[in-house]
């Protein structure tokens, strides 16, 4: 306990801390664990960063898909107006009205082409953002596995100090090596 508050330590925390002050195995494990914790912090940061980046791109994809949907709805409205104008041109006998409705139908057809170009561009932008999101998230699973292996290595190292079994340190080293390698592989 400190003078400023209560600190709860497990039995293993005290043993590891006590052994860390002695030269030899305890000190080696303490340094090894500190290095692994530092590497783990970097891996954890990178894993979080990949998630955030993927979410940002996914959010952009959804926004552009909604904008494209709005354009396609606008396109449909223009199509309906064009169809009504074409129908009106065929049912009226007044030549001035026939000419007016045909011009309106032609105007709606032109407007539809512009709207279609815009909608397709927005759909493409949405697809591109989806692809970028998938690419950004690609390393995340391997980074999570890397972090898990690093945590296992730290746990095995702590158990090494408690049991004084050096072979556990070898297991910790293998887990640490596998974790570090998986973290590097995540980016390829």
Q: Could you tell me the residue ranges of all domains in the chain?
A: 60-133
What angle in degrees, to the nearest 10, is found between the helix axes of 140-163 and 25-91? 160
Please name the residue that has the structure tokens 């998230």: 137
CA 33 to chain centre: 29
Per-residue pLDDT reduced to its tens digit, 101-114: 999 999 999 999 99
pTM: 0.69
pLDDT at 134: 94
pLDDT under 70 in the chain at which residues?
A: 1-23
Structure tokens at 90: 């065929």
Res 25: pLDDT: 85
What is the pLDDT, as a whole number, of residue 13? 65
The Cα 144–Cα 54 span in angstroms is 15
pLDDT score for 27:
86
DSSP H/E element including 149: helix 140-163
């Amino acid at each position: 306990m400190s003078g400023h508050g209560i600190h709860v330590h497990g039995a293993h925390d005290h043993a590891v801390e006590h052994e860390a002050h002695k030269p030899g195995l305890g000190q080696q494990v303490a340094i090894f664990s500190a290095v692994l914790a530092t590497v783990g912090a970097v891996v954890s940061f990178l894993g979080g960063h990949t998630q955030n980046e993927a979410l940002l791109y996914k959010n952009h994809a959804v926004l552009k898909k909604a904008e494209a949907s709005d354009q396609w709805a606008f396109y449909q409205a223009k199509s309906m107006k064009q169809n009504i104008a074409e129908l009106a041109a065929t049912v009226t006998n007044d030549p001035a009205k026939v000419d007016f409705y045909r011009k309106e139908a032609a105007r709606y057809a032109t407007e539809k082409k512009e709207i279609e170009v815009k909608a397709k561009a927005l759909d493409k932008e949405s697809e591109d953002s989806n692809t970028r999101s998938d690419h950004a998230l690609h390393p995340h699973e391997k980074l999570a596995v890397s972090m898990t292996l690093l945590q296992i290595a730290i746990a095995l190292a702590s158990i090494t100090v408690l049991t004084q079994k050096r072979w556990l340190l070898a297991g910790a080293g293998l887990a640490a090596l596998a974790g570090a390698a998986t973290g590097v592989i995540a980016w390829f």
